Amino acid sequence: MTILIKSGDPSSIQQWQSLFSAHLPKLTVRWWEDTSVDPNSVRYVLVWEPDPGFLGQFPNLEVIFSSGAGVDHITARDPDYPKHIPLVRMYTPESAQHMAEHVLMCCLMATRGFAQATHQQQQQTWHTYETPAIASDITVGIMGLGNLGLHTAQYVHNAGFKVIGWSRSAKHIPFMDSYAGDEQLSTFLQRSQIIVCLLPQTSETQHILNAQTLAQLPKGATIINVGRGTHLDITALKNALDAQHLGYAYLDVFAEEPLDTQSWLWTHPQVIISPHVAANAPRTARVAYLSAQITAHESGQTMQNIYSPELGY
């Protein structure tokens, strides 16, 4: 049986092969552009942004693995992908921990005013400034309480921040207040001095952070978007930043990636950019996860984190 890899660059295939051999020695691992591969032998694929039509050319394909936690890079890019085949999202404890640490870093940077220090360094300016708040003074609102959201919420809470959450359906979480649905969104927003977007990409969550919702955040609030670029209306963001209603925006995801070199986001003094790295797990962790999923599938057990078209994640 063969798995095709479209994740990373061609030079990574030897590492993928070495890592898989430790878990599934009978699995043949090939790069997706390897023309020597018999399409009939391909039973699994691991992909990031597959070319349209790519996934439909393997008659014996059994599972599609997403190289990331989301699947929109597959479902939107190739709307005709074979929908009868399970599409499995990537989730590892390491990716959850990476996400939690990234979000906590942003929360601490916002609380300590670190963006100002960075700006002053670029200007070679020495000017002391106050950081009147500590973590326990700040309420962090987590939008999206799935695996990543819950782990992040717990981690930020453990660091001393007050944490609240919002999701489409009600959750009961001992260490934080949880809000649900459109009717409770305003209350959630009004309490969130730092807001973290970790929602899945669905038709309901597109531009959920817009002029109306951003206006309901407290003055000086910070945005941390580590969900999907389409969650945030960047025109509304610019207006809120320029009006000084929002303090800073920490952005790891964008509607179009790589981010256009001409985008105003690169040079705005209140925007801090990272190139979609918040939840990057090492290949060792991803291979361990994939191998466990393949083993479960081969033995007739249910795989984890299967994409549901009805739910949108």
Q: What angle do CA 29, 308, 187 make, to 5 degrees?
A: 125
Distance CA 227, CA 3 (A): 28
pTM attached to this predicted model: 0.91
pLDDT tens digits for the chain (313 residues)? 999 999 999 999 999 999 999 999 999 999 999 999 999 999 999 999 999 999 999 999 999 999 998 899 999 999 999 999 999 999 999 999 999 999 999 999 999 999 999 999 999 999 999 998 999 999 999 999 999 999 999 999 999 999 999 999 999 999 999 999 999 999 999 999 999 999 998 889 999 999 999 999 999 999 999 999 999 999 999 999 999 999 999 999 999 999 999 999 999 999 999 999 999 889 999 999 999 999 999 999 999 999 999 888 8
Instruction: Give all domains of the chain, ordered by start, each with its CATH number.
Output: 2-92+281-298 (3.40.50.720), 94-273 (3.40.50.720)
Residue 239: helix, strand or coil by DSSP? helix
Question: Taking the CB of residue 211, how many other CB atoms lie within 10 A of it?
Answer: 13
pLDDT at 311: 82
CA distances from 259 to 105, 235, 274 (A): 22, 15, 10
The catalytic site residues sit at 228, 276
Here the tokens at position 26 are: 């009978």
